[in-house]
């Protein structure tokens, strides 16, 4: 399994092997995670195993890496989304609801969930809506 974790915190000895931002940008540009996987394979971006062998990343690993990058880089990811025609109204309720779903799915602990809300500037909004 590739290193998929909060990019701000590394609690294990192995370095993260995926560029999370690149996963997100390529996914938007190419339209599917499968196409991103093919680009990675073609360019030799492969997961390195502990025994020194390599293999392609899984589609799930690429998808999770992309979403984690979106969660931890809200300003930059919103600009990229908008360049592709999404969330043109900015940080409106639609964007916030969508981000809450992604944060719930990918923030592994209550502490990370709360931190992700703060990073995205949504703590007050989230608490007010009950």
pTM assigned to the model: 0.81
Q: Would you state the structure tokens that stand for residue 6, as one six-digit string?
A: 């909060």
The per-residue pLDDT for 129 is 84
Q: What is the pLDDT of residue 2?
A: 39
**Distances 75 to 41, 65, 104 between C-alpha atoms, Å:** 30, 17, 19
Which of 56-60, 101-105, 125-129 comes out lowest in average pLDDT? 125-129
Q: Residues 61, 18: contact at Cβ < 8 Å? A: yes
CA distances 111 to 46, 70, 101, 115, Å, are 31, 18, 16, 6
Domain ranges of the chain: 18-57, 73-130
Q: Where are the beta strands (DSSP E) in the chain?
A: 47-48, 54-55
Please tell me the predicted confidence (pLDDT) of residue 16.
62
What is the rounded average pLDDT of the residues 70-97? 93
Q: What average pLDDT score do residues 55-83 get?
A: 94
Q: How far apart are CA 96 and CA 44, in angstroms?
A: 36
């Amino acid at each position: 399994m590739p290193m998929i974790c909060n990019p701000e915190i590394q609690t294990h000895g192995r370095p993260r092997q995926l560029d999370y931002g690149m996963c997100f940008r390529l996914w938007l540009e190419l339209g599917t995670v499968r196409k991103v996987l093919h680009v990675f394979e073609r360019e030799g971006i492969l997961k390195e195993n502990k025994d020194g062998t390599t293999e392609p990343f899984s589609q799930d690993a690429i998808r999770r890496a992309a979403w984690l990058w979106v969660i931890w880089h809200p300003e930059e990811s919103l600009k990229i989304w908008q360049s592709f025609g999404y969330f043109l109204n900015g940080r409106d309720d639609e964007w916030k609801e969508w981000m809450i779903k992604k944060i719930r799915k990918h923030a592994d602990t209550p502490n990370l969930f709360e931190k992700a809300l703060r990073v995205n500037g949504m703590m007050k909004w989230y608490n007010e809506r009950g």
